[in-house]
Amino acid sequence: MRRVPVIAVDLTSVRDWEGFHDAFARTLGLMDGYGGNMDAWIDCLTHVDEDDGTSRIVVEDGDVLTLRLTGMDGLRTRRPDIHAALLDAAAFVNHRRIEVGERPILALAYP
């Protein structure tokens, strides 16, 4: 049985959009040219199964990347806009893949 990747992303100190994108860029090793916006976030995670230098994390064929998010309750309280955008963007990553006949690639786990 192959191990499915689970990556912990700490969102407890996120106070603004820059902090949000920094947390993901640092944790996932997103490329130097990462745009630091939700369109770029969606693009990077949509293609996390391609070894194209977009991310240090590359999901093997058939696997799903699970982001284990800490600090989601605090984020929802502090920045409900960022919290909602994260949930919507993750769903859109999978929707985008399904629309072109690919399998979902992303799961979120948080208390």
Tell me if the pTM is above 0.85.
yes
One pLDDT digit (tens) per residue for the chain, 111 residues:
456 689 999 999 999 999 999 999 999 999 888 999 999 999 999 999 999 999 999 999 889 999 999 999 999 999 999 999 999 999 999 999 999 999 999 999 998
Pair 37, 20: CB distance under 8 Å: no
What are 69's strand-pairing partners?
Answer: 9
Q: How far apart are the first and last CA of the chain?
A: 26
> Can you give the pLDDT at residue 5?
87
> Can you give the pLDDT at residue 2?
54
Classify domain 6-109 by CATH architecture: 2-Layer Sandwich (3.30)
Reference 108, options 56, 64, 66; nearest CA is 66
